[in-house]
Amino acid sequence: MKSGLAEIPLTTKISMIREELRDEYLQPHAKPWIIGFSGGKDSTLVLQFVVELLLGLPPSRRTRPVHVLSNDTLVESPVVQNFVDSVLDHVRDAVDAMHLPVTVKKTTPDPDHTFWVNLIGRGYPAPNRLFRWCTDRMKIRPTSSYIRAQLSESGKVILLLGVRRLESSARAKVMQRYDNGTRLNPHNNLKGCLVYRPIVEMTTDEVWTTLLQVRPPWGGTHRQLVTLYRNAQGGECPFVIDQDDAPSCGTSSSRFGCWTCTVVEKDKSMQGFIDNGFEHLEPLLEFRDWLQGFSKDFANRMSERRNGNEGNGPFTMEARRHLLSRLLEVAEEVRLPLISLAEVERIKEIWREDESTVVLRKADRLLALIGGK
């Protein structure tokens, strides 16, 4: 939908979106569609429009494959991730039963780049606005890897995103920078990936109105989604495939995302869940707050960086052991698998590697001193 159409009536706007989606889907080429699905209201509406489109076509014309791509950082808010997993399961079952050409995929970070392997294993300090190492490793890389796999098979793909111009002034500026005035825009970093934003001109009220007027074609209602937003007192962290989207994670607004997020000063979202009946998650909020202060205490950091240069380096081995011990205590308290056994094993491997490196560096310095005499 082209800009300048934000003021038209909602019914007309929806008709235009549906017609544009249908026209794009029926174009004479085989570029697969990939829907970036975060589980929030905007990506849910895009998914609903696409499934309804497919149901409105005769089976012989449903030739273009559609991928529903969701990403789990493995440290998402348990409430949110349980909801997203439930939706993905319902969508997967429904599209199979309706014989739609839809594949549902959930990506996760590489086992060597999970939050805990980097934080506790390598000793990275908790993410902050200046060192936001989490977004690239936990969000961008997993989703980009899946998209590249589809690109290698088909040459080009069309990525459908539920981003809106009126979502925020920052989002509007980013979109304006990369909007070429046509329906499809080349992605900045993924060659062959074209970005399509079907609901770009819809307002927040219009999104909610549309969702609440019609039941999702995969069954159930959107009432649970409404409750999720109400309890979290805010919105979702978006589907991220580009560093330009990274500031949307960890903003000062109330968004539900990673429960470990220390980029925000206060986690209003988790506090909202706790205040609305999820009191058992309070230890997670307490751990996050403690981790934020723990990272700022340079007594917990080595005086040498991982590359051997002097400066505020990773957590000391003692600090890393304390972090793991504290995390395991919290996991036992809330009775949730906050960290996997595979992650613990990889953490221990990295510890052994780092300890060996420290010993070798000390030996090198000693030999240099002896040789200089």
For the chain, what are the domain ranges? 10-259, 279-372
Mean pLDDT over the full length of the chain: 88
Fold entry, domain 10-259: Rossmann fold (3.40.50)
pLDDT grade for 256, boundaries at 50, 70 and 90: confident
- Quick one: which of 34, 89, 86, 40 has its CA closest to 64? 34
pLDDT digits (tens, 9 = 90+) for 80-121: 999 999 999 999 999 999 999 999 999 999 999 999 999 999
Residue type, 122: R
* pLDDT above 60 for 172: no
- For 277, the token pair is 């009946």
* pLDDT above 90 for 145: yes
Annotate 241-268 with DSSP letters as a single string. Answer: -SGGGGGGTT-SS-EE-BTT--SSSS-H
Strands (E), the chain: 33-36, 66-71, 102-107, 157-160, 184-186, 193-196, 235-236, 255-256
pLDDT at site 252: 47
pLDDT at site 120: 98
SS3 134: helix
Strands 193-196 and 255-256, by their bridges, are unpaired
